[in-house]
Structure formats: structure tokens, C-alpha cells
Amino acid sequence: MTQHLRTAARDAGGVWAGLFALGIGFGVLVTEHGLPWWLAPIISGVVFAGSAEFVLVGLVAVAAPVATVALTTFLVNSRHLFYGLSFPLHRVEGRAAKAYSVFALCDEAFAILTARGARELNAGRAVATQLGMHLSWVSGAAVGALAGSAFLHGLQGVDFVLTALFVVLALDAYRDCPDRLALGTALGAAVLAWAIAPGSMLLVALSGYTAVLVVRHWYAPRSVEHA
């Protein structure tokens, strides 16, 4: 395992550090919402899905219905449905390792482990890489929440970290896939949802956007798929 951890650190050390730092932001956000500090590492440990956790905290803090939590998580995390198609799980041997690898298949794990190529991957390396991400994220959240409850409390502007994260992710997503129609309809759905249902904006916007995509699918020229 030491060997695997060393390889994993070489592959993903930068990502581990990034997740630790972002985890601090998440932890601070948890205490800013008036939730107890220990909830931050617990949420990070069991959900382990960055964007969804930032959203989840806002929902839990206002005691949104569990059905709203489930549906919003589904829509925010729906991209994970496609990670499994190219993730080389057959290289991760052993039931426990496979189960953990699927459980901890966050964006960063998918990106790093799939990019390395199936031939180089094995169970030890996959589990070590993902465990490092998981521990970095959880410990960052704990540190951030403790700092948040100890001396950052009441500091103005700390929850800006959520806005910054999502704006940066959107810039990156548009650079990866400069699809103006997707950007425009998503912006339209979001602004409309905010105008008509500010309290459940995410749910309304993401459901509306999904409905638009289904319509777009039916009207999209078929030949594009083979282009």
C-alpha cells in the first residue's frame, strides 16, 4: 500500500492539496449557515461530491423537504451517470476495492484515473488515489469548520467561496464545450426560475433545463451524432 500511496501522491498530490483547500472553504460555509462544525467532515465523508455538498448545506440549513434535497442532488450530480461508461472499473480487482472506487468516484477521481489509462490502473492505485482525495476533502472541511466556528465567525463575505467555485466551474465547462445553445438555455432557465420561484430556484431551473434538453434531443439533427 505504501508503494501505491507514493504513486498516487505523484499522480494526484496537487489535486489532494486543492481538495484540502476547497474543503476549508466548505467547512467555513457550513458554520456560516449556523450548522455545528462536526457536520462539515461528516457531510464531506458520506456524500463526497463537492458541488452537491455546497448546495446541500444551503438546503439543510433552511430544512428544505427531503424530497427537494434528493431531487436537487440528483440533478446536480446527474453527470456522474456518465462517468461509469468510461471508468476502467475492470482493472480494480476485489469486491471491497470496486465498491469503494464506485462510492468515491467524484469528478477529480474520474478525471485522474481515467486519464491515466486502463493499462496502468490497478486496485491499489485506484483506492490510494481516491482515499487521498477523500481524506483531503474531509480533513479540509474539518479544519475550515473549526476555524469558521472559532475565529472566522461573523466575518463578512466568507460565503463568497460558493459563488466563486460555481462561476469558475462554469467558465471551465464552457471552455471544454463552447456550446452557446446550452449556455443560453441554462442561463434563461436559471434567471426565469429565480424570477418565478426564488425559494426553489435550483430545482426549478435544473428541471426546466432538463426538459429543454429533451426537446432539443428530439429536434437535434441526427447526423451531428456521427460527425
Partner 1 sequence: MPEPGYVVGALAAAVAVTVALRALPFVARAAVKDSPLLADLGRWMPLGAVTVLAVYGLTRLDLHGADRGAGPLLGLVVTVVVHLWRRSLLLSIVAGTVVCVAVSSLA
Task: State which of positions 57-86 bind partner 1 (CB under 8 A).
Answer: 58-61, 63-64, 66-67, 69-70, 73-85
d(CA 43, CA 54) in angstroms, rounded, equals 10
Residues 6+ apart with CB under 8 A from 16: 9, 132, 133, 136
For the segment 19-48, give every residue that binds partner 1 (CB under 8 A). 21-22, 25, 34-36, 39, 42-43, 46-48
Terminal-to-terminal C-alpha distance of the chain: 44
- Window of 3-11, 122-130, 131-139, 166-174 that interacts with partner 1 by CB under 8 A: 166-174
**Min dist. Cβ of residue 96 to partner 1 (A):** 15
Among 120, 153, 160, 211, binds partner 1 (CB under 8 A): 160
Site string for partner 1, 93-132 (x = CB under 8 A): ---------xx-x---------------------------
Among candidate residues 139, 143, 119, the one with its CA nearest the CA of residue 131: 139
Provide the greatest CA pair distance for the chain.
58
Among candidate residues 169, 219, 183, 77, the one with its CA nearest the CA of residue 191: 183
Q: How many CB atoms within 10 Å of residue 177?
A: 9
Q: How many CB atoms within 10 Å of residue 39?
A: 17
Site string for partner 1, 173-212 (x = CB under 8 A): xx-xx-x--xx-xxx-xxx-xx---x--xx--xx--xx--
**Min dist. Cβ of residue 56 to partner 1 (A):** 5
Q: Which is nearer to partner 1, 47 or 97 (CB)?
A: 47
Q: Which is nearer to partner 1, 43 or 146 (CB)?
A: 43
**Min dist. Cβ of residue 124 to partner 1 (A):** 20
Q: Which is nearer to partner 1, 58 or 135 (CB)?
A: 58
Residue 20: C-alpha distances to residues 13, 63, 82, 191 (Å): 11, 27, 26, 32
DSSP state of 116: T
**Min dist. Cβ of residue 8 to partner 1 (A):** 19
